[in-house]
Structure 1
């Protein structure tokens, strides 16, 4: 596989943003299909949801093969349009999605970035794209701690995050609809990064 590049979504054009939404829907279709099995409606519902400054993509030959979004204490990666969600998913489902996805499952502190929506295109999995995106984010942003959520049944992702230095710090049981959602627990993992301390200038 040829080497691709990692780009901030805000620097790319509309076609790339459309590819990101498609990749997001395909990557989380197992969960999103409970809202509607219509992929087109799901894409329309999330068409303008991503804050492009907070999304990085892996680009190869003008194709988006991977994505990663992140949120901070003051800015979420998703800015959901409740009207668009309700138009595509119906009044109650749209309301539910805007509420649930609008809330972060754990608090985000000032020194943290919360990594979410890590997706690799099906044909490019196992090529290290997710690892490259996460490492790029950590090297690019100034935060000293990075947190994320992963479900217990996604053992490949858990192993990947452990390999990248993330450690488990919290578990949350899935109390309802375990069979439908396909997991029993949510794992919360974090990675601490040492940043060089900037020395204060003292007059001679």
Structure 2
């Protein structure tokens, strides 16, 4: 049951007067552990390795005191929300895995839309800190983004069809499915996902 009355301050990440990168990266590491397990099974190492990559003026965070409760990026579909630094990755993951991460994840994370539509924002990297889950944090951030940014249409790309809580949340907020991309069978069996779903919200 999502609590609608647990209110947090939502603010753009670069407007805070304390360093948010490590906490954001811990949320990222928690949410993407299954994808990043090759590079390290230790979530703390993953968090340190990727703390550098957040483009803070593209992120909105929910804050309670000095704690980051959750985050989401909103870009214009052209600007990157993440920028990887190979030196930082090698420092924390070792030369070989850091180099591989720099190549493989660059394709995944630094991949803006081709010919994006006008007046369209892309909501990305939605995540909630473990201790704040179930309190409506992600919905507060997304509602804030929709109210306080200039776009007419908002896209959320590549939600796994098995991620029922996320799908329920986005549909509750008024997003509708507009594309379904099947996962090749061998990969589907390996990762346990059959389709990646893209959703759209129009003001």
Q: Check whether TM > 0.5.
A: yes
Deviation of residue 14 (structure 1)? 4.6
Higher helix share: 2
Q: Distance in 2 between matches of 1:11 and 1:82?
A: 27
Over aligned residue pairs, what C-alpha RMSD do you find?
Answer: 2.0
Structure 1, unaligned stretches of length 5 or more? Answer: 194-204
Other-structure match for 2:147: 139
The question of whether the paired residues in 2 share the 8 Å contact of 1:55 and 1:67 is answered with yes
C-alpha deviations, 1:60-108, integer Å up to 9, x for none?
1321111111222331111222332344233223311112221147763
Other-structure match for 1:98: 106
Q: Distance in 1 between matches of 2:19 and 2:146?
A: 26
Structure 2, unaligned stretches of length 5 or more? Answer: none
Other-structure match for 1:33: 37
Q: Distance in 2 between matches of 1:151 and 1:159?
A: 12
The question of whether the paired residues in 2 share the 8 Å contact of 1:71 and 1:114 is answered with yes
The question of whether the paired residues in 1 share the 8 Å contact of 2:78 and 2:113 is answered with no
Q: Does 1:78 align with 2:88?
A: no
Q: Give the TM-score normalised by the residue count of structure 2.
A: 0.86
Aligned length: 193
1:192 to 1:33, Cα distance in 2 relative to 1, 3 A = same
Q: Give the TM-score normalised by the residue count of structure 1.
A: 0.85
Query: Residue 51 of structure 2 aligns to a residue in which SS?
Result: coil
Deviation of residue 12 (structure 1)? 1.7
Other-structure match for 1:183: 193
The question of whether the paired residues in 2 share the 8 Å contact of 1:173 and 1:186 is answered with yes
